[in-house]
């Protein structure tokens, strides 16, 4: 079954900017597309991307609650799993 291109971008709440950024970039292989802060000391709202997948990560408490579940269709999940293990994931 061919699925239509996904047009929804999930937003996930993060509490630790440095730790979350390292996990998504260094461990899961996403790249930071952009980051936004109204002031340098205020919470971040950012986008990470990989292989056509995009996630918003937000420190803003009003955007969403901590937790959630996101499913992505990965053409070669075994290769993706091997890569994540090589990057230090579990």
Q: How many domains are contained in the chain? A: 1
Asked whether 54 and 47 are in contact (CB, 8 A), the reply is yes
Model confidence at 68, in pLDDT bands (50, 70, 90)? confident
What span, in angstroms and rounded, lies between the C-alpha atoms of 56 and 33? 10
In a domain, 50, yes or no: yes
In a domain, 6, yes or no: no
Up-side HSE of residue 21: CA atoms within 13 Å toward CB?
13
Helix (H), strand (E) at residue 84:
helix 77-86
CATH number at residue 36: 3.10.180.10
Neighbours of 55 (CB within 10 A): 19
Segment 42-57, tens digit of pLDDT:
999 999 999 888 999 9
In a domain, 35, yes or no: yes
Q: What is the mean pLDDT of the chain?
A: 89
Q: Looking at residue 6, what is its pLDDT?
A: 63
Which residue range(s) make up the domain with 30? 11-65+72-83
Q: Looking at residue 56, what is its pLDDT?
A: 95
């Amino acid at each position: 079954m061919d699925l239509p291109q996904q047009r929804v971008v999930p937003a996930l709440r993060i509490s630790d900017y440095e730790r979350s950024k390292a996990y998504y970039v260094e461990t899961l292989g996403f790249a930071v597309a952009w980051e936004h802060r109204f002031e340098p000391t205020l919470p971040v709202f950012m986008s990470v991307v990989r292989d056509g997948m995009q996630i918003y990560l937000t420190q803003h408490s009003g955007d969403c609650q901590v937790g959630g579940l996101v499913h992505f269709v990965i053409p070669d999940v075994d290769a993706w799993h091997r890569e994540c293990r090589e990057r230090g994931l579990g």
